[in-house]
A and B are shown apart, each in its own frame.
Chain A
Amino acid sequence: MATPLLEVEDLKTTFSTDNGDLTAVDGIDFAVDEGETVCIVGESGSGKTVATESITRIVKEPPGRVEGTVRFKGRDLLSMSEEELRQIRGNGIAHIFQNPQEAMNHCYTVGWQIAEALQIHQDVPDKKARARAVDLLDRVGIANASTRFDDYPHEFSGGQKQRVMIAMALVSDPDLLIADEPTTALDVTVQAQILKLLDELQDEFDMGILFVTHDLGVVAQIADRIVVMYAGKVMERGGVLDIFEHPAHPYTQQLLNCVPEIGGNEGGIPGTLPNPHDPPDGCRFAPRCSYAEQTCRTGGQPEELDVSPGQRVSCIHYRDGRDPSLLRENAPGVESGSNGVSSADD
């Protein structure tokens, strides 16, 4: 197997605050292959955003501190200097963010901001940069792109702004696009359009996408593989079909249960995320898990275990000599067969 486009190993991000250190991401691993879409899934506050922002170290440092290894095309990003890293940001790895309202500077035209992203990395004359930006605006579906180039962000709707952000991200032809909840702030119809656009652009630009979301409906539409995060740790990972059909970790099961179309339980997961200043011993999810035993509450996060080819889970119930089937009683994948996935595929 070729080296993955992006390889993250033991990534750990700590913030120093007035109340002591706060570990938002606590040693996670994942990889993204070329042309592949990987989704990081989890509740708000589980550390997904910090994890993606730690990859190119755009997370604020200080108070943040990023440790571990991030290899992009085989080069370690975390050992690079700021200078070298800047060459990667926007050029090799591009970002789009959750809130397109605020992600653009209100004082500059959208065209200026797109051209800036290009001209930082390539010595392109203004005219050519403009032509390229207009092309991209047109490509992402902004009508009258050549006149809209000179409009300011506030003259665009939310969905259009996210399209502009996508154009801005793509202007330097990146190999990896990190999309942090890009559709959360948009309404449902616009959301579907943006996802479709990203899907088309992925083939066209041949890029890997690392997609962060808490919305499993969105995951079902675009993901190839899924990484489930909870309180700074990875709970489970695997192919999208495997996880939707046979969610192994109780957390994943509950998460799927919360999607109205799939499981029907709209109540959400009982309990709240643990205090990040003082995370619980053992499995991070144990305090909210109905299957937790004494073993779950001691030591560190359990090791990851294979449940099926490519699917791994961090739960003691899958250790040798244990019977994981008791976890499956409430699992949506089992109860409703493959309905869950097919309905989400629609």
Chain B
Amino acid sequence: MGFGRYVTARVLWAGVVSLIITTITFLLVSAAPNPSVQEAATQAALQGGDPAEAAERARELRGLDQPLYVRYMDFIESVYTFDWGWSRSRSQPVTEALGQGLYYTAQYSVPWTVLTVLIGPLVGVYSAANMYSWKDHAATGFAFFGYAIPNFFFGIILLLIFGVWLEVIPVVYNTDVAVFSVQNAVQLSIPVFVLVTGSIGAVMRVSRNESAEFQNAEFMKTAKAKGVSPLRAYAYHVMRPTLVPLSTTLVGQLLALFLGSSLLVEVVFGIPGIGRVTYNALIAQDTNLLLGSTLAFTFIAVIGNLLEDLVFTVLDPRISYDDR
């Protein structure tokens, strides 16, 4: 099987996974009593009408009287055509609300990802090259610290120190500043730092342990015998093979943090990103919006896992595409 066919197969599989998760979401929602139907019934009862009849009408209005499979087909169709409905709490289409959230989420996610990808492997390989020195121990200590400290807790503490006591950063995120401005960089610095600390630990550990193996490999001796300088040997001959196992950790780690902690970090720092949109939808009981953001995160997760697979295959020339 060629690379093209492998990619096609993986993309198709990702489609299947997203369909399955979407289906589970549908089942979850349809198995629950619809709050708007109940609301209509309560309303009718309060006004002296027939609650059962009102509920029936409400159900009809929302197409709930149709058989499950018809509703399912409708649901799937609207999900994949991005017709995600109307957000009651924000008075705008769900996709638009999510798009706005994504705009703010991207502002800290991009620097966070870039920094993790750049710094993590470098520190890890440096640690391996100086294994068991104080530098290695310091890096290991930092890795464990970042790994273990709950992001939201760390965020609160830093916000207290830099926002409340030192007043270096604003306590509440200011959406009025331009994206590429010093102010924006300053107010995003702490959230980015918190997230980088959280994601970099695992990346550092994996690159340290993997590159420790490669720096003693036979091909390093070949490189030395060829006259390759130590810096070049690390940059090319150790770093490159380390990236193969690292790619899995890297994408997985970023994804896990993105799906979990970014929501917390946005709440702590008051960033109106997609995590905050989800949170607000939950608080405001905005079913459409909550469903929309769940789907958005699901698709991000599926795409992330797909990327992880593809990156891994591209990085490791030894992978045969027949394997899966």
Contact = CB atoms under 8 A, between A and B. Distances in A.
State yes or no: do A and B come from one complex: yes
24 contacts: A53-B221, A58-B224, A88-B227, A89-B225, A89-B227, A90-B225, A90-B226, A94-B225, A95-B221, A97-B221, A102-B219, A103-B222, A104-B219, A104-B222, A105-B240, A105-B241, A107-B316, A107-B317, A116-B226, A116-B228, A116-B236, A120-B232, A154-B317, A168-B226
Nearest to B315: A107
Interface string A91-116: 10011010100111111100000001
Interface in B229-264: 229, 232, 236-237, 240-241, 244
Interface residues of B, number: 22
Interface of B: 217-219, 221-229, 232, 236-237, 240-241, 244, 315-318
Of A53, A116, A152, the most chain B CB neighbours within 10 A belong to A116
A146 B134 CA distance: 48
A247 B232 CA distance: 47
A298 interface: no
A207 interface: no
B221 A103 contact: yes
Contacts of B228: 86, 90, 116, 120
B221 A90 contact: no
Given A95-B222, A103-B222, A107-B244, A86 B227 contact: yes
Contacts, number: 73
Nearest to B218: A102
B240 A107 contact: yes
B241 to A, nearest CB: 5
B173 to A, nearest CB: 42
A22 B87 CA distance: 75
Given A94-B226, A116-B226, A152-B318, 15 more contacts: A58-B221, A86-B229, A89-B224, A90-B227, A97-B221, A103-B218, A107-B241, A107-B315, A117-B226, A120-B226, A121-B227, A152-B317, A154-B318, A165-B222, A168-B222
- Chief secondary structure at chain B's binding surface: helix
B28 to A, nearest CB: 44
A212 to B, nearest CB: 14
A56 B227 CA distance: 10
A238 to B, nearest CB: 29
Interface residues of A, number: 28
A106 B315 CA distance: 11
Given A105-B241, A107-B244, A95 B218 contact: no
A167 B30 CA distance: 68
Contact of A97 (B218, B315, B317): B218
Interface in A151-166: 152, 154, 165
A181 to B, nearest CB: 13
B317 A105 contact: no
A87 interface: yes
A53 B236 CA distance: 22
B164 to A, nearest CB: 49
A210 to B, nearest CB: 13
Contact of A105 (B219, B229, B315): B219
Contacts of A168: 222, 226
Contacts of B315: 107
Interface in A199-258: none
Contacts of A108: 236, 240
B317 A106 contact: yes
Contact of A91 (B218, B221, B227, B318): B227
